Amino acid sequence: MNHKTSHRTLAIAAAVLALAATPLAWGQQNTDGKTGATNADNKVPAIPRTDANFMKQAAENGHAEVETSKMALTKASSPEVKKFAQQMIDDHTKTNEELMALAKTKGVELPSGPSLVQKGKAKAVLDTAEGEKFDQRYVASMGVDAHEDTLKLFRKAAKDAKDPELKAWAAKTVPALEHHLQMAKALDATVNKKGSKTASK
């Protein structure tokens, strides 16, 4: 083999190696230019783990609100409580749908229902109650307590989320959650007052 042939062979080998290495470099980026998603199906979240965890917790909280509020439509004795429950169903269903659409663009798979802990709590607190007792428990647990927890979660994401779209969505949702909490606290005072009057008779 002469020197020219040797140089040509080395050049071809170098070109082949360069082409073989190129897809590995492409694999470091997803289609929108963000690092993080490394497979063709984009199944690895393209956002930080803390942001993905927020989305999953927010989804579980939303599903819990909807499911327990549907229960309230059939078990609550107060028209005011049923009206509140219907608004929770409407508002949280809309929020869940927005979150699902956003999660899809980020490669995050969300839970389709409440967590096992949330299901267990709903069963223990609400399944065994009827009438005014149900009203009081539903408003206190899912109206006040649950919204305080969810509001804390969303405020933190609105402040600390790394993904700008997720951060903006969390901030946009906070005022609605604050309104829900105000409604729940007012309703809680009403149903407890009504319960006290009934008990004193």
DSSP codes of every residue in 75-86:
H---HHHHHHHH
Strand partners, 58: none
Q: Is 114 helix (H, G, I), strand (E, B) or coil?
A: coil
**pLDDT tens, residue by residue, 126-160:** 999 999 999 999 999 999 999 999 999 999 999 99
**pLDDT tens, residue by residue, 101-124:** 999 999 999 999 999 999 999 999
Phi-psi region of 47 (alpha: psi -120 to 50; beta: other; left: phi over 0): beta
User: Class assignment of domain 49-196?
Assistant: mainly alpha
CA atoms within 13 A on the CB side of 151: 17
195 pLDDT tier (thresholds 50, 70, 90) = low
Distance CA 92, CA 70 (A): 12
What is the pTM assigned to this prediction? 0.74
The contacts of residue 110 (CB under 8 Å, 6+ apart) are: 55, 56, 59, 99, 100, 103
